[in-house]
Amino acid sequence: MTEKNWQAIKICYCQHIGSEVALEAELIFPPEHLPDSGPRVGAHRCSQGLNCNLDGRPSCIWAGTNPTVEPFSEGL
């Protein structure tokens, strides 16, 4: 049976909320009868993206309210 879980793949300080946040990836693991294939990435999200959608201020691409700001790419 296929399994899915979310794992943090990058941590950064978010100035919008004044705290560290995680970029998370949804990993989809293959069923047991396909053990040689690795996990696939289904989606990405910010660990605080849902809360950002509720505070009424434009924030970033991960909250879906400002596509020009991508906090996880800053400092690269």
Does residue 14 interact with ligand SF4 by CB under 6 A?
yes
Does residue 24 interact with ligand SF4 by CB under 6 A?
no
Between strands 3-14 and 40-46, the pairing is unpaired
Does residue 21 interact with ligand SF4 by CB under 6 A?
yes
Report in angstroms how near the CB of residue 61 gets to ligand SF4 at its nearest.
Answer: 7
Does residue 60 interact with ligand SF4 by CB under 6 A?
yes
Sheet of strand 19-29, all strands in order from the earlier edge strand to the far edge = 3-14, 19-29, 40-46
> Per CB under 6 A, which region of 1-9, 25-33, 35-43, 59-67 contacts ligand SF4?
59-67
Token pair 């978010």: residue: 14
32: Cβ contacts below 8 Å, ≥ 6 apart: 1
